[in-house]
Amino acid sequence: MHDPLIIWPPLTRGTLVRRYKRFMADVALDDGTVITAHCPNSGRMLACSDPGNTVYLSLSASPGRKFPHTWELIEMPDTLVVVNTLRANQLARSAIERRFIPELSGYTSLKSEVRISDRSRIDLVLEGRGLEPCLVEVKSSTLVEQGMAMFPDAVTTRGLKHVRELQAMRHKGYRAVMLFIIQRTDAHSFAPAARIDPAYADGLKEACTDGVEALAYDTAIDLSGVTLGRNIPCIV
């Protein structure tokens, strides 16, 4: 297991009251105060948003935020789950920079949020002497059923658009990678969630047949930080 790639800021513990309007959650703090926290996750959060479970919040230093607390973690029966999808991108970038992902090693330059068209940006672009440029799109997976991690947990036209863009860039001579970060500890394999979004599953399968690569890594999570775990089988 690698060194922690994300170290949590001071966390405030509470109990989830409800999650609503996608980006809001009411949390009862241990002192009895009920606050509204920002929920940085646009998915349905199936199996990781149960009211009554313990959650952990970070506190923003930005004075202009309407909701200064950010929901970071929830305790589920068998695992902590990172619900903040932005953490997957942070972890992926740090892991690549520190060469913790062998499949993406050998590159000497890494750029984030690179524009590839008038309407689209790619999460990461890797470059190195003698290597074809590598485009990496990072996705956060928090849905696990019987040990199978899945993405998405809701229909995602945006996610399908990203897959098709990678496929198009592969045709132009780029290396193209979908990197799924499993933000919980109880998965042994990964597959697209065909029963939730069959169009996404079919699109990913087609893209992989066309040369797009799919990688999945799990994580080790505790209240001090998040560590990159193992490369797990990706069944597309």
Domains in the chain: boundaries: 4-82, 86-231
Q: Residue 157: phi, psi to the nearest 5?
A: -65, -35
- For residues 128, 134, 139, 141, the Cα torsion angle rounded to the nearest 10 degrees is -80
- Determine how many CB atoms are found less than 10 A away from the CB of residue 27: 24
pLDDT score for 1:
61
* Bridging pattern class, strands 225-231 and 4-7: antiparallel
Tens-binned pLDDT, residue by residue, of the chain (236 aa): 677 899 999 999 999 999 999 999 999 999 999 999 999 999 999 889 999 999 999 999 888 889 999 999 999 999 999 999 999 999 999 999 999 999 999 999 999 988 877 778 899 999 999 899 999 999 999 999 999 999 999 999 999 999 999 999 999 999 999 999 999 999 999 999 999 999 999 999 999 999 999 999 999 999 999 999 999 999 99
pLDDT score for 39:
97
Q: Do the beta carbons of residue 40 and residue 68 sit within 8 Å?
A: no
Q: Is the dihedral of CA 106, 107, 112, 116 positive or negative?
A: negative
pTM to 2 decimal places: 0.95
**Token pair for 18:** 């409800």
pLDDT score for 163:
95
Q: How far apart are CA 31 and CA 40, in angstroms?
A: 24
CATH class of 86-231: alpha beta
CATH class of 4-82: mainly beta
Q: How far apart are CA 74 and CA 85, in angstroms?
A: 13
